[in-house]
Structure 1
Amino acid sequence: MTVEVAENRIAATRANSRAPEAVKPVLGRLGSLETRLAVTPEEVRAAQVIRYRVFVEEMGARLPPAAMLAGLDFDAFDDICDHLIVLDTSLDGDAPDQIVATYRLLRQEVAEKHSGFYSADEFDIAPMIARHPGKRFLELGRSCVLPPYRTKRTVELLWQGNWAYALKHNLDVMIGCASFPGAFPEFHALALSFLHHNTMASGDWTVRAAPNRYRNMDLMPSEAVNPKRALMAMPPLVKGYLRLGAMVGEGAVVDHAFGTTDVLIVLPVESISSRYVNYYGADAQRFAS
């Protein structure tokens, strides 16, 4: 998508951009923070700005020229995904000015009508999905939070939103790429080896990195891996997935554009730790009132 096309799409729907509150259901609220889906082009654009600030300005990602010129992280998947956002309603301005965190959500039935899942470019997920014909998959991606809001409260609201979304759409499995900083897996030998030895998906959930992109995660023998230090060395997002009960695929992938080392997260909803189900609420109402 070019900048011109992106701008035209926003302009074409600008007249309807201020959706009434009735179509802006809040999925969770903690103090001045609330989470819901983006419902206007301006809100999606604001989420793309947040992603640009985190991925490009903070982490050094190199996006296609059109995205770099626009100061937006956007691609073709944005048009078919739902965008979960967290807003700080204490900030001045309209909703787009209040967005402080975002997640990109792609349901299986939507992916299959278009170009598939984003993570399929890095991981051979098709065989795993085919082994579970009765289950509906949800891909989570582009998770980012502005630095001042990287707190437990913001993470809780993001997961409240994910949980409510999964329940609403009767989704069974969450998948997605989670990233370690840097393009050298060897720098994360301790953490990656822990994941390889302790959390690798197996059986019907077996999934591997794409053969042409596969990087070994088995960098240290299991007896040399200190679990406490390994967990301390992991990005907060990866640790969060593990606490929920997630597994990881075999093999990592280096994403040179974003300068990251990616692992595939596999989280069947039925495997989510009961304490988290109880915490967020079996009906997703824990933070929604």
Structure 2
Amino acid sequence: MLYLRKGRYLARTASGRADLNAAFALRGLCFGQGNGADTDSFDARCSHILIEDSQIPALVGYFRVLPLMAGADILHSYSAQFYDLSALTRFPGPMLEIGRFCLHPNHPDPDILRIAWGALTQWVDATGVRLLFGCSSFSGDAAEPHLEAFGLLHRKYRAPAQWAPKPKAPERFDFETGLASRSLNQPRAQADLPPLLRTYLLMGGWVSGHAVYDRQLHTMHVFTGVEIDAIPPARARLLRAVAG
């Protein structure tokens, strides 16, 4: 069971139906379901991590994790519904899929994201995970508002050839063709990156060469991977300081 307290925030593993109901309601709020709960068939296979503000008290953040023991198991992940991940079946070592990451819209404190990464660092160190991965979401299921960010990802953060996801979902925006004649405004592109994805990239993360339209959740997403061995040492020290 994961348990990490820092200041006013607590990250912990959900422990009962009330915890799960609160988590699914927050997901519904953040992913466009209004007052309805967001659930899917992967929930039963995942551990659910809650981030609570003890001063209110309230649930202010959430993510779920799906541990995979070997590369071949990635074909049974949530992300594999949308991306051809056959190259990653050769990846050596355990993996951890991070999903449905969300922060309550009324609680924008960056410390919530920090404690989430501290909790993930605890998990990685305890289990020997070598790859973090998932679908990093952009708000809204239209490409136009995100073209600057997509251009930055295409130019600087493409996946290594040996691990690169291939297209699978029929509805997608291909960076190579869709951005062929577009110039890059880097400050604007950086500003459009979702906070979670920005953190992935600071840790040496990489992304797919296309974004997938998710009409159900009203988002677009890119496959994102972070190889633990590639995290810059200074960044790793900061993460372990939060996790300690």
TM over 0.5: yes
Indicate yes or no: 2:5 matched with 1:45: no
- Cα distance change on mapping 1:172 and 1:110 into 2, 3 Å: closer
Contact 1:131 1:204 (C-alpha < 8 Å) held by counterparts: no
Contact 1:32 1:89 (C-alpha < 8 Å) held by counterparts: yes
Contact 1:100 1:145 (C-alpha < 8 Å) held by counterparts: yes
Q: Which amino acid aligns with 1:120?
A: A
- Cα distance change on mapping 1:211 and 1:57 into 2, 3 Å: closer
- Cα distance change on mapping 1:221 and 1:120 into 2, 3 Å: same
Cα distance in structure 1, aligned partners of 2:29 and 2:101: 12
Q: How far is the alpha carbon of 1:249 from its aligned partner?
A: 1.0
Q: Which amino acid aligns with 1:234?
A: L
Contact 2:71 2:94 (C-alpha < 8 Å) held by counterparts: no
- Cα distance change on mapping 1:56 and 1:110 into 2, 3 Å: farther
Q: How far is the alpha carbon of 1:198 from its aligned partner?
A: 1.0
Query: Per-residue displacement from partner, 1:114-148 (whole Å, max 9, x unpaired)?
Result: 981011111111x222221x221111110111123
Cα distance in structure 2, aligned partners of 1:135 and 1:222: 39
- Cα distance change on mapping 1:135 and 1:25 into 2, 3 Å: closer
Q: Secondary structure of the equivalent of 1:100?
A: strand
Moved over 4 A (4+): 110-115
Contact 1:248 1:266 (C-alpha < 8 Å) held by counterparts: yes
- Cα distance change on mapping 1:227 and 1:169 into 2, 3 Å: same
Cα distance in structure 1, aligned partners of 2:11 and 2:55: 14
Aligned counterpart for 1:232 among listed residues 166, 169, 191: 191
Q: Which amino acid aligns with 1:220?
A: L
Unaligned segments of structure 1, at least 5 residues: 1-23, 59-67, 93-97
Tell me whether 40-49 or 78-87 shows the greater mean CA deviation.
40-49
Aligned counterpart for 2:64 among listed residues 89, 98, 104: 104
Indicate yes or no: 2:231 matched with 1:272: yes
Cα distance in structure 2, aligned partners of 1:50 and 1:250: 30
Contact 1:190 1:220 (C-alpha < 8 Å) held by counterparts: no
Contact 2:71 2:93 (C-alpha < 8 Å) held by counterparts: no
Q: Secondary structure of the equivalent of 1:147?
A: coil
Name the TM-score, length of structure 1 as normaliser. Answer: 0.77
Q: How far is the alpha carbon of 1:111 from its aligned partner?
A: 11
Cα distance in structure 1, aligned partners of 2:214 and 2:170: 13
Q: Secondary structure of the equivalent of 1:91?
A: coil
Indicate yes or no: 2:118 matched with 1:157: no
Cα distance in structure 1, aligned partners of 2:101 and 2:2: 21
Cα distance in structure 1, aligned partners of 2:61 and 2:190: 24
Cα distance in structure 1, aligned partners of 2:180 and 2:73: 43
Q: Which residue of 1 aligns with 2:156?
A: 198
What is the alpha-carbon root mean square deviation over aligned residues? 2.4
Q: How far is the alpha carbon of 1:84 from its aligned partner?
A: 1.2
Q: How far is the alpha carbon of 1:75 from its aligned partner?
A: 1.2
Contact 1:80 1:110 (C-alpha < 8 Å) held by counterparts: no
Q: Secondary structure of the equivalent of 2:125?
A: helix
Q: Secondary structure of the equivalent of 2:15?
A: coil
Cα distance in structure 1, aligned partners of 2:111 and 2:169: 39
Count of residue correspondences:
243
- Cα distance change on mapping 1:101 and 1:120 into 2, 3 Å: same
Q: Which residue of 1 aligns with 2:12?
A: 36
- Cα distance change on mapping 1:172 and 1:115 into 2, 3 Å: closer
Q: Which amino acid aligns with 1:178?
A: S
Unaligned segments of structure 2, at least 5 residues: none
Q: Which residue of 2 aligns with 1:73?
A: 38
Aligned counterpart for 1:220 among listed residues 160, 179, 195: 179
Indicate yes or no: 2:136 matched with 1:171: no
Q: Which has the larger radius of gyration?
A: 1
Q: Within 5 Å, which residues of 2 pair with 1:176-191?
A: 176-191=134-149
- Cα distance change on mapping 1:158 and 1:184 into 2, 3 Å: same
Higher strand share: 2
Identity of aligned residues (%): 25
Q: Secondary structure of the equivalent of 1:228?
A: helix
Cα distance in structure 1, aligned partners of 2:213 and 2:28: 20
